[in-house]
Amino acid sequence: MDGCRACAEVCPADAIRIVGGAESKESTRGNEGGRPKKSRMQIDLGRCLFCDECRAACPADALACGGDYRLATRTREDLLLGAEGPRLAVALEDKTRRLFGRSLKLRVVSAGGCNACEADTNVLTTIGWDIGRFGIQYVAAPRHADGLLITGPVTTNMRLALRKTYDAVPSPKLVIAVGACAISGGLYREQPEQMGGAGAEVPVDLYIPGCPPHPLTILDGFLRLLGRIGGVRETAGSGSCEP
Amino acid sequence: MSGRRLVHTENAEVLPVGDVPVVPVVTFRETVIDSVRDGARLVAFFGRPQEDRRLLVFAVLAMPDAGPLGVLAMAVDGRYPALTGACPQAHLFERELAEQWGVVPEGHPWLKPMRFHRSWQPGRDAWGRDPEQDPRPGVTDFYSVEGEEIHEVAVGPVHAGVIEPGHFRFQCHGEVVLHLEIALGYQHRGIERALVGGPDKRTMPFMETAAGDTSIGHATAYCQAREALAHSTVPPRAMALRGVALELERIANHVGDLGALAGDVGFLPTASYCGRIRGDVLNLSALLCGSRFGRGFIRPGGVGYDVTAGMIAELQDRLAEAARDAAEAIGLMWDTPSVTERFEDTGTVSRETCMEIGLVGPAARACGVDRDVRQDAPFGIYRFTHIPTVTWDTGDVFGRAHVREIEILRSVAFIQEQLTNLPRGGTLAAVAPPAPESLVVSLVEGWRGEICHAVLTDGAGRFARYKIVDPSFHNWFGLALAMRGEPISDFPLCNKSFNLSYCGHDL
């Protein structure tokens, strides 16, 4: 199926790139046998809406949706998926972790979010999830916070308010980007009314992909960041598949 | 009789755009104002630029007593006499028109931007602003009250809770709110503009995120419009499943709202239970399509996923359990006088005010107004299965809570019936390209109320204008009026009793 771009073409967020292939310059680089290298596919989980369109479009049934909820990463690049799953978030360095590991207070700023990321962020405070037991709490004021949790692509109309809120959080501070919009602008990344995600305005420490991310994915991200789970560099299971 | 100047249409019925009468401005004003005075309601009001730079302005009216939809248009050249003074329902629509296209509704009593974006019509700005500068959100005049004992409270855009941004300006005398003005626009993502030229691969996810807590509602409104433009029909099984998904969305949100209302008066048992039960219902949507918000389920031509017999049984069991738990959790709150005392006579909107400003959804039904798209302009499965409308007549926080409570019961019964008698057959039909030069108005009763998508196609069948009216657009002003004379400390409670969408308003 070399040269097929069906998945890339249907993706509403342009999250899929086909790298290399017979026609491409890249294909001959480091290619000793002289045969053209096969094209590779790269999925940007930071844009992905998890909408299933690529799977449905693939004529070779080569794509499947995984059931692994662990998706959060520490860098933007770690969300670029090749043959392997995302390189999962590692904990904060020791000094910062000592500060936040047992008590992390977050101010949530919705900056163009559609209220789905907000809802599944908020649900973690209900009794079914109870993030309070891990020492994590959403607080009312940035002055009381250790960091920001940002949703939405950061609309131009929220840019100043986000900046002021960030500045009002005492240092050292963390930023967590939740959802495709906050990571990359997501579906909205070409709209002139937005900035292309939180990273355009403030430094991001944790990326939690999804549209919206499942509450488990958000919680998993928090706990990895704080070193409560995980440890050495881990990769999410790209092979696991549930219907 | 004003009705003759309107062309009549039905929910999700296609009309050649040439059939819409384009009447002189004076006739347009008279017709809309008289119709609304006689009981019609302004459903949508929007512009489409013409080649001669004049703006074709469309009005869609819901005729009284569950009558048809009436549509008419006028051509505006820069300015026209505003309707708002005589027709308060036009208030926000005319501000929107001015902001988007730079026309001036002269004599509008409160003409200021509502979303704070640049004019869509190059070289035209209703306020003569610098076209190179992005307008600053919230920087505008606010209604103010003067006097030595008057103070002003400004809240937002960033709020204390996990909630979307908006700015609220209260004029207070002591604890009592004399007036609340709500300034939105912080969530503006430019959706309507991005839809022009579609449909394309981004159209569907735009609909599902227009108001992300109403993915099913907006996706259904879009698909109805899209299918009408293609003269396509939806297989019966898909039609029933769409109804199931729409009612699941309603139940999840109503349960969540009732829990949040309990939380706002410090009654934690109902708040805690409902927080969990809401999740149980969202997980039923996930059972249908893998997404707790129903993303990917509604698709042009039907639904994206079928259900198996095993899934139906599981859905029915889990829904019955969630419904039992919800009834008990909500009952706890009604057995507690300290809760009912806080809900009753708080944030009251009269029936007259409701009619005048054109509220929709549970907020209208709590004022005793029998208004529900599922009954008044039935669509999809609701043309075959009646779902009784729930009204209450107090117009207060209790009314808005109680209507939601009973609607949960009705929706549960509806879903169980649909799943028991689910038609056999396919779930997705092919959809032809949209018809050119057409207009379709698609209405859906979402959990917040009437969702309206009005679509105009060009000569090639592309979207020339895609107007979305989220129920919140009609209802935000209702919240402002509900706060008059109330202690400012009741704002969270009143706000939650409406629970309106910021992004659905800002688009």
Report H helices in B266-385.
268-289, 309-334, 337-343, 351-357, 361-365, 373-376
pLDDT at site A233: 63
Specify whether the backbone of B115 is left (phi greater than 0), alpha (psi in -120 to 50) or beta.
alpha
Q: Kindly provide the residue ranges of all beta strands, DSSP E only, lying in B21-103, ordered along the sequence.
A: 41-49, 55-62, 69-76, 79-81
pLDDT at site A82: 84
A40 located within any domain? yes
Alpha-carbon A17 to chain mean position: 17
CB contact under 8 A, A116 and B213: yes
pLDDT at site A35: 55
Instruction: Report helix, strand or coil for A204.
Output: coil
Residues in chain A: 243
Instruction: Report helix, strand or coil for A107.
Output: strand
Q: Which of A125, A187, A192 is closest, CB to CB, to B209?
A: A187
Q: Which of B202, B204, B275 is closest, CB to CB, to A126?
A: B275
Residue B157: is the preceding peptide bond cis (ω within 30°)?
yes
Distance CA B464, CA B443 (A): 19
Distance CA B224, CA B378 (A): 12
pLDDT at site A67: 85
A12 located within any domain? yes
Residue B235: is the preceding peptide bond cis (ω within 30°)?
no
Same domain, A115 and A192: yes
pLDDT at site B188: 97
- Give the distance from residue A136's alpha carbon to the nearest chain B alpha carbon, in angstroms: 14
Same domain, A57 and A161: no
Residues 237-276 of B with CB under 8 A from A: 272, 275-276
Q: What does residue B277 show for φ and ψ, rounded to 5 degrees? A: -65, -35
Same domain, A115 and A181: yes
Q: Give the right CATH number for B191-485 from 3.40.50.261, 3.20.20.100, 1.10.645.10, 3.90.1170.50.
A: 1.10.645.10
For the cut 50, the answer to whether the pLDDT of residue B362 exceeds it is: yes
Residues 82-101 of B with CB under 8 A from A: none
CB contact under 8 A, B157 and A158: yes
Same domain, A37 and A131: no
Contact B291, B448 (CB under 8 A): no
Q: Which of A12, A114, A157 is closest, CB to CB, to B185?
A: A157
pLDDT at site B357: 96
For chain B, the average pLDDT equals: 96
- Give the distance from residue A151's alpha carbon to the nearest chain B alpha carbon, in angstroms: 9
Hey, of A5, A155, A169, A191, which one would you mutate to test binding to chain B, going by the most B CBs within 10 A of its CB? A155
The model's pLDDT over B36-87, given as tens digits with 9 standing for 90+, comes to 999 999 999 999 999 888 999 999 999 998 889 999 999 999 999 999 999 9
**Sign of the dihedral defined by the CA atoms of residues B491, B493, B498, B503, in that order:** positive
Return the domain boundaries, chain B.
2-106, 191-485
Q: How many distinct structural domains can be found in chain A?
A: 2
Same domain, A103 and A48: no
- Give the distance from residue B159's alpha carbon to the nearest chain A alpha carbon, in angstroms: 7
- Buried b / exposed e across A119-134, counting CB within 10 Å, b at 16+? bbbbbbbbeebebeeb
**Sign of the dihedral defined by the CA atoms of residues B202, B14, B430, B246, in that order:** positive
The answer, for A137 touching chain B at a CB cutoff of 8 Å, is no
What tokens appear for A62 in the block? 């080569």
pLDDT at site A1: 52
pLDDT tens, chain A, 243 aa long: 567 899 999 999 999 998 876 544 444 444 444 555 677 889 999 999 999 999 999 999 988 888 899 999 999 999 998 877 788 988 888 888 998 988 999 999 999 999 999 999 999 999 999 999 999 999 999 999 999 999 999 999 999 999 999 999 999 999 999 999 999 999 999 999 999 999 999 999 999 999 999 999 999 999 999 999 886 667 775 433 333
Distance CA A232, CA B471 (A): 49
Residues in Cβ contact with B66 at an 8 Å cutoff, skipping those fewer than 6 apart: B375, B376, B377
CB contact under 8 A, A128 and B275: yes
Hey, of B99, B118, B134, B158, which one would you mutate to test binding to chain A, going by the most A CBs within 10 A of its CB? B158
pLDDT at site A243: 30
Residues in Cβ contact with B21 at an 8 Å cutoff, skipping those fewer than 6 apart: B5, B6, B7, B72, B73
CATH code: domain of residue A32? 3.30.70.20
The model's pLDDT over A19-51, given as tens digits with 9 standing for 90+, comes to 876 544 444 444 444 555 677 889 999 999 999
Measuring CA to CA, which residue among A119, A199, A194, A124 is closest to residue A157? A194
Measuring CA to CA, which residue among B64, B80, B419, B436 is closest to residue B241? B419
Same domain, A108 and A219: yes
Distance CA B127, CA B104 (A): 8
- ipTM summary value: 0.95
DSSP lists the bridge partners of residue B438 as B16
Same domain, A49 and A148: no
What tokens appear for B110 in the block? 């409160």
Largest CA distance in chain A: 62
Distance CA A116, CA B292 (A): 9
- Give the distance from residue B117's alpha carbon to the nearest chain A alpha carbon, in angstroms: 8
A121 located within any domain? yes
Measuring CA to CA, which residue among B334, B403, B408, B405 is closest to residue B363? B403
Tell me whether strands B69-76 and B55-62 are parallel, antiparallel or unpaired. antiparallel
DSSP lists the bridge partners of residue B47 as B57
- Give the distance from residue B149's alpha carbon to the nearest chain A alpha carbon, in angstroms: 28
For the cut 80, the answer to whether the pLDDT of residue B112 exceeds it is: yes
The answer, for B222 touching chain A at a CB cutoff of 8 Å, is no
Question: Are B2-106 and B191-485 in the same CATH fold?
Answer: no
Distance CA B138, CA A127 (A): 36
Same domain, A33 and A133: no
For the cut 60, the answer to whether the pLDDT of residue B376 exceeds it is: yes
A198 located within any domain? yes
A183 located within any domain? yes
pLDDT at site B326: 97
The answer, for B425 touching chain A at a CB cutoff of 8 Å, is no
Residue B68: is the preceding peptide bond cis (ω within 30°)?
no
Distance CA B269, CA B79 (A): 56
What tokens appear for B294 in the block? 């129903």
Residues 148-177 of A with CB under 8 A from B: 152-153, 155-158, 160-161, 165
**Sign of the dihedral defined by the CA atoms of residues A157, A163, A168, A171, in that order:** positive
Q: Which residues on chain A are in Cβ contact (under 8 Å) with B290?
A: 52, 65
For the cut 80, the answer to whether the pLDDT of residue B416 exceeds it is: yes
Same domain, A57 and A99: no
Quickly state the pLDDT bin for B377 (edges 50, 70, 90).
Answer: very high
Instruction: Report helix, strand or coil for A177.
Output: strand
pLDDT at site A3: 77
A79 located within any domain? no
The domain containing residue A35 runs over which residues?
6-65
Higher per-residue confidence, A187 vs B5: A187
Degrees (nearest 5) of the Cα angle B416, B421, B423? Answer: 130
Range B2-31 average pLDDT = 91
Same domain, A184 and A126: yes
Q: Kindly provide the residue ranges of all beta strands, DSSP E only, lying in B126-266, ordered along the sequence.
A: 150-155, 167-173, 176-183
- Give the distance from residue B136's alpha carbon to the nearest chain A alpha carbon, in angstroms: 7
Same domain, A36 and A146: no
The model's pLDDT over A210-239, given as tens digits with 9 standing for 90+, comes to 999 999 999 999 999 999 988 666 777 543
CB contact under 8 A, A141 and B160: yes
pLDDT at site A27: 41
The model's pLDDT over B184-226, given as tens digits with 9 standing for 90+, comes to 999 999 999 999 999 999 999 999 999 999 999 999 999 999 9
Residue B135: is the preceding peptide bond cis (ω within 30°)?
no
Same domain, A52 and A15: yes
pLDDT at site A86: 82
- At A142, the amino acid letter reads P
**Sign of the dihedral defined by the CA atoms of residues A228, A231, A234, A239, in that order:** negative
CATH tag, B2-106: 3.30.460.80
pLDDT at site A34: 52
What tokens appear for A160 in the block? 């100043």
Residues above pLDDT 90, as percent of chain B = 96
The model's pLDDT over B417-436, given as tens digits with 9 standing for 90+, comes to 999 999 999 999 999 999 99
- Buried b / exposed e across B4-41, counting CB within 10 Å, b at 16+? ebbbebebbebbebeebbebeeeebbbbbbbbbeeebb
The answer, for B318 touching chain A at a CB cutoff of 8 Å, is no
